[in-house]
């Protein structure tokens, strides 16, 4: 099979050869949807190759965490969806012979090198839009199959998880995966793991009854429907085709193609009538990625809903549950994950309501809010992204959310940028990193979504620095 990302194949092959020769590997991965799918992909590939795997999931990887791993490890340590920011520390420990680090990541790396470093950014690929951590782990898994020949299963079976990771990391561009992500999705389709097609790009098409589906169209807010259950029902009842099945409202996936077209056209017409900008109306339709081997009508059938389930386990410090779901547990782990998802949705709803009611403040280039303890620090970034475009909140301006950390000292910061700024040179990761360093904190992330931790009391100085950096990016 041709490698899905040829530019990374040689590096992946070298790393795969080292891993296959190891008696055991410690696998350390990030705790979000991308990190959990990365761990599942890499762990499965190692087990197929007959290598013993010990997996740890971490929220971050600072110098202390790296030092602890080095002190406890004499074997190979594989990092997935993290590690690029700690290359200098990893290189130091590698030089002492304490352990061999292998980093499979997509974040912006620091200026240091180790022998085995697999990152799309090193070969000119955009790690924020073209290849996520899970996709990079998939490249490694494919290399183990293609170069070593020791893998028991077909590595293309893991492409579905790579798609989930990419979507969970918000790597769709104008509604679809692009670049290397698209190539991996295509491999998944060839293997019968993934199905894709143009459809309504609203979260919940598999599981939410139609009125609730439309009521929660938060990515594209339609006045009179979004946040208005009665308005959503009235809209559906006025369509020229019958929707309701007796007393029951169907889900989107239960509708026949003709009825779906009618509902989608009606939504676009309503949005135009209510003054929704055309570029946002276009976002109502996009490419949906379906996991063909998951049960229809479940949260795991649609890649977007699957990623939300995984993120819910991470936000409530139960990432081991999400990893078990990725590895195929459809009983106890899935039940626990869905219970966490219900709690997650309730907290998001409360957080969005709080921000909308409290409002945001504006600087020259950004808008912001400080939730203190009103919103969990683990979900403040999601809330920030979801309120963009709500009443009183500018849909054209980056938003920065602050929340007190539940564990440890300091204040958590999360920033999100509207999609229309993607091609204007904005890089929230760089803005977070530079501004946090200025006030004694640390930060980083992607161009459109990033975060930081800053000392309590330093929020004004940090915000001023962020506003300056983003202003320079947008004016440059």
pLDDT digits (tens, 9 = 90+) for 149-161: 656 778 999 999 9
367 lies in the same domain as 400: yes
**476 band by pLDDT with thresholds 50, 70 and 90:** low
12 lies in the same domain as 103: yes
pLDDT in tens, 158-203: 999 999 999 999 899 888 999 999 999 999 999 999 999 999 988 8
Q: Which domain holds residue 207?
A: 199-346
Strand partners, 166: none
255 lies in the same domain as 339: yes
Q: Nearest-CA neighbor of 291 among 200, 167, 160?
A: 160
20 lies in the same domain as 103: yes
Enumerate residues 6+ apart whose C-beta is below 8 A from 29.
35, 36, 38, 39, 42, 55, 56, 57, 58, 79, 80, 81, 82, 133
Task: Give the pLDDT confidence score for residue 61 in this predicted structure.
Answer: 87
63 lies in the same domain as 134: yes
342 lies in the same domain as 363: no
For residue 389, is pLDDT > 80? no
How many angstroms separate the CA atoms of 41 and 142, rounded? Answer: 10
How many angstroms separate the CA atoms of 80 and 27, rounded? Answer: 8
What is the average pLDDT across 76-103?
91
60 lies in the same domain as 146: yes
**Bridge-based pairing state of the strands 52-58 and 24-30:** parallel
Last residue of a domain, one of 283, 314, 346: 346
> Is residue 414 situated within a structural domain?
yes
**Domain at 370, CATH number:** 3.10.310.40
> Is residue 264 situated within a structural domain?
yes
Task: Give the pLDDT confidence score for residue 149 in this predicted structure.
Answer: 67
For residue 473, is pLDDT > 70? yes
How many angstroms separate the CA atoms of 233 and 214, rounded? Answer: 9
> Is residue 318 situated within a structural domain?
yes
Across the chain, mean pLDDT equals: 92
pLDDT in tens, 97-140: 878 999 999 998 987 789 999 999 999 999 989 999 999 999 99
For residue 420, is pLDDT > 80? no
How many angstroms separate the CA atoms of 40 and 29, rounded? Answer: 10
**59 band by pLDDT with thresholds 50, 70 and 90:** confident
- β-sheet with 367-370: strand ranges across: 361-362, 367-370, 399-404, 411-416, 449-454, 442-445
Task: Give the pLDDT confidence score for residue 55 in this predicted structure.
Answer: 96
Task: Give the pLDDT confidence score for residue 279 in this predicted structure.
Answer: 80
> Is residue 174 situated within a structural domain?
no
**370 band by pLDDT with thresholds 50, 70 and 90:** very high
What's the total number of domains in the chain? 3
322 lies in the same domain as 221: yes
203 lies in the same domain as 128: no
What is the average pLDDT across 296-304?
95
281 lies in the same domain as 333: yes
340 lies in the same domain as 415: no
Enumerate residues 6+ apart whose C-beta is below 8 A from 264.
200, 284, 285
pLDDT in tens, 308-326: 999 999 989 899 999 999 9
How many angstroms separate the CA atoms of 269 and 192, rounded? Answer: 36
**Domain at 144, CATH number:** 3.90.1640.30
> Is residue 454 situated within a structural domain?
yes
Residue with the bigger pLDDT between 111 and 303: it is: 303
Q: Find out whether 388 and 366 touch, Cβ atoms under 8 Å.
A: no
How many angstroms separate the CA atoms of 42 and 134, rounded? Answer: 9
Last residue of a domain, one of 165, 190, 215: 190
Last residue of a domain, one of 166, 190, 214: 190
> Is residue 62 situated within a structural domain?
yes
Task: Give the pLDDT confidence score for residue 150 in this predicted structure.
Answer: 55
**221 band by pLDDT with thresholds 50, 70 and 90:** confident
Task: Give the pLDDT confidence score for residue 41 in this predicted structure.
Answer: 98
Task: Give the pLDDT confidence score for residue 441 in this predicted structure.
Answer: 94
- β-sheet with 52-58: strand ranges across: 52-58, 24-30, 76-80, 100-104, 116-118
> Is residue 176 situated within a structural domain?
no
373 lies in the same domain as 302: no
> Is residue 137 situated within a structural domain?
yes
pLDDT in tens, 64-74: 889 988 888 76
Q: Which of 16-20, 92-96, 352-356 has the lowest mean pLDDT?
A: 92-96
What is the average pLDDT across 224-248?
91
């Amino acid at each position: 099979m041709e490698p899905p990302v040829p530019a990374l194949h040689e590096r992946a092959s070298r790393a795969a050869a080292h891993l296959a020769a190891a008696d055991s590997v410690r696998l350390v991965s990030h705790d979000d949807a991308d990190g959990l799918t990365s761990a599942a992909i890499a762990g499965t590939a190692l087990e197929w190759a007959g290598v013993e795997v010990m997996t740890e999931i971490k929220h971050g990887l600072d110098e202390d965490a790296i030092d602890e791993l080095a002190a406890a490890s004499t074997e190979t340590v594989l990092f997935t969806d993290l590690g690029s920011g700690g290359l200098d520390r990893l290189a130091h420990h590698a030089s002492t012979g304490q352990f061999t680090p292998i980093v499979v990541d997509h974040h912006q790396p620091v200026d240091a090198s180790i022998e085995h470093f697999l990152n799309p950014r090193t070969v000119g690929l955009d790690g924020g839009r073209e290849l996520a951590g899970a996709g990079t782990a998939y490249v490694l898994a494919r290399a183990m199959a293609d170069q070593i020949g020791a893998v028991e299963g077909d590595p293309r079976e893991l492409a579905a998880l790579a798609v989930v990771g990419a979507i969970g990391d918000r790597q769709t561009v104008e509604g679809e995966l692009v670049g290397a992500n698209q190539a991996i999705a295509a491999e998944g389709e060839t293997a019968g793991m993934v199905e894709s097609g143009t459809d309504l790009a609203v979260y919940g098409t598999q599981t939410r009854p139609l009125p609730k589906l439309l009521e929660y169209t938060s990515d594209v807010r339609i006045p009179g429907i979004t946040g208005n259950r009665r308005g959503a029902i009235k809209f559906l009842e006025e369509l020229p085709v019958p929707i309701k099945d007796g007393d029951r409202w169907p889900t989107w996936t239960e509708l026949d193609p003709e009825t779906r077209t009618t509902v989608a056209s009606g939504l676009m017409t309503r949005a135009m009538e209510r003054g929704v900008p055309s570029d946002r109306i276009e976002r109502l339709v996009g490419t949906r990625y379906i996991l063909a081997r998951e049960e229809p009508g479940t949260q795991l059938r649609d890649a977007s809903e699957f990623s939300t389930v995984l993120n819910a386990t991470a936000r409530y410090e139960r990432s081991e549950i999400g990893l078990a779901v990725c590895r195929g547990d459809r009983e106890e782990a899935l039940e626990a994950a869905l219970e966490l998802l219900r709690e997650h949705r309730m907290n998001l709803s409360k957080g969005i309501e709080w921000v909308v009611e409290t409002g945001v403040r504006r600087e020259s280039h950004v808008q912001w809010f400080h939730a203190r303890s009103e919103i969990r620090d683990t979900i403040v970034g999601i809330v920030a992204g979801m309120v963009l475009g709500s009443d009183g909140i500018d849909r054209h301006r980056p938003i920065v959310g602050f929340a007190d950390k539940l564990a440890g000292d300091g204040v958590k910061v999360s920033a999100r940028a509207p999609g229309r700024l993607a091609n204007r040179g904005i890089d929230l990761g760089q803005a977070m990193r530079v501004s946090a360093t200025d006030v004694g904190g640390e930060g980083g992330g992607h161009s459109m979504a990033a975060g930081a931790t800053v000392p309590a009391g330093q929020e004004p100085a940090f915000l001023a620095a962020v506003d300056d950096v983003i202003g320079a990016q947008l004016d440059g």
